[in-house]
Amino acid sequence: MSNGSGKVALVTGGSKGVGQGIAVGLAEAGWTVHVSGRNTERLARTVERIEAAGGTGHAHACEHTDDDAVRRLVTDVHDAGGRLDLLVNNAWAGPRMNHVTPEKFWERPLSDWDSLISVGLRAHYVALHAAAPLMIAAGSGLVVNISSVGTRAYLHSTLYGISKAGLDKLTHDAALELREHGVTVLSLWPGLVRTEQLLASGLDNIAGVPITDAETPELQGRVLAAVAADPDLHARTGSVVITAEEAAARGIIEPDGGTPISPRLMFGGGPVFPPLP
């Protein structure tokens, strides 16, 4: 796949996990991928993987709790290549949680808010706020917010659900305001993802989902690259894309040949945000 050739993406929180997997999947499609995060050694490893996959990679150290730093990041990426075709809002920080017997919200410190909301929601809003005028001027662009089934199902904690529900509402309403300018906004819902942290946890399931059914980080990038290349993409603006379902619809398989399982049943199989009317 090479339909991303010449296009530029920024993946925040791209030093590991889902962010790194997305960067690699985009690189396989020929994208130039900028990744940001705090750990420069991990960012360098992501750039190595981007280039090994056939893309061009650039690393940016960024503290995503700093609004000015996030705005500079978006501007610097745009200015480096004269364009920003895709912004993937993936930066995330969360407190350590007990996934076997989760604590209730009133048993947790109020400081949980500072990571789950300040990084997991505010930093995405700040990046979108900075990117929107650049994409409007270009008359095109795609913003993808990495969300979760935690929007609809209880997952991890009350605050985790609040942050993801807020992110999907950001997707929907920003898409409404940007639609006339040719800019598309989507939420992407990975399932349970086989990150290094998850594999090292020793757990055999999270929220009833077996670790053996977890998706790879790279699948997220392959699905996203295919979605970004869809000529009818703008008709889907404001909607939620579920990685496993999109992969099935497009015949995209895991790097190991496996088939991902949709997390929709975790909340009873009901609807998610559809495209705008």
Q: Catalytic amino acids? A: 160
Quote the DSSP letter at residue 102.
P
Between the CA of residue 60 and those of 6, 80, 89, 202, what are the distances in Å?
20, 12, 14, 32
Rounded to whole angstroms, the Cα distance separating 184 from 172 reads 10
Specify whether the CB–CB gap between 131 and 143 falls below 8 A.
yes
- Evaluate whether 220 touches 18 at the Cβ level (below 8 Å): yes
Q: E strands of the chain, at which residues? A: 8-11, 32-37, 56-61, 86-89, 141-146, 183-189, 205-206, 209-210, 240-242
Cβ proximity of 19 and 35 under 8 Å:
yes
Nearest CA among 164, 206, 205, 210 for reference residue 188:
164
Amino acid letter for position 171: T
User: Which residues lie below 8 Å from residue 26, measured CB to CB, with a gap of 6+?
Assistant: 4, 9, 11, 33, 55, 86, 221, 224, 225, 228
Q: Which single residue is written with the structure tokens 């893309």?
A: 55
